[in-house]
Structure 1
Amino acid sequence: MRTKNKLFCLAFIALTSFGFSGCSKDDDVSNSDVEGTYAGEMTVYPATGIKIFDNTTLTITSAGEGKVKVTPAANTGGVAEIFDVFPEDGYIVNPENDPKGTFLFYGKDNSLTVSTLGDVKKAGQFRFKGVKQ
């Protein structure tokens, strides 16, 4: 009888644990969710000095399977960059230690943070923070 009780308790604990560890559909995002135009703040780091844009746009488009192209507004002088991205826990992110920089899209509030590490001598490096329009 004790063996049956132990097995029942173990099964109950396992089922209860599984119920609490399930993921929510609300947190699911896909790479296509990030595509669109974002409005926000951008700092560009060209060789001639820092330029700050308080109200500018940035466009995200697909660049193939698991890739997105980040294109700053033309007047900013920022250089477009292609990032490898993947969904993770409600976010779209790029791999850690990516030499291109950091890409972080939060699906819950459609916010985006991008920081590129392009060659500063070619202009290009920028940091952007904004929300999808």
Structure 2
Amino acid sequence: MTKRILLFLFFVFLAHKSTSQEIEPLSPIQKKLYDFETVQVKPEFNGGKDKFTAYILENFKKTKAGKNFKGSISLNFIVEIDGSLTNIVFNKKIENKVKQDLKNVILKSPKWLCGEHEGYHVRTKVDFTIDII
């Protein structure tokens, strides 16, 4: 019975060690938010700006608000270290439904290649304008 308990505890410990990851603390460089112009390696969507625009147009036009919307929209967002997009801010007053649908499309986009500065992946603010016709 004791062997079974010890064996069970060993496997529980082993499973815990194999699933837990040690998270390295961020360097001071990684804690800072960079502007697009200041990073050494710019963040980019896989395939470039044209592919990102095509992704947005294709998916936004499928939304209720996107079916009838036409116009130019300026926004900015942060490309995080893991390539996800956060903190989407629209620079021009637009209807809430349009804003929410467009924001949802952008948040669901494939991950970007993040910015790099001094050899570290960094958070980068990106300004973006899209013409929806």
Pick the TM interval, shorter chain. Answer: 0.3 to 0.5
More strand by share: 1
- The structure with the greater share of residues assigned to helix is 2
Q: With structure 2 as the length reference, what TM-score do the two structures score?
A: 0.36
Q: TM-score, normalised by structure 1?
A: 0.36
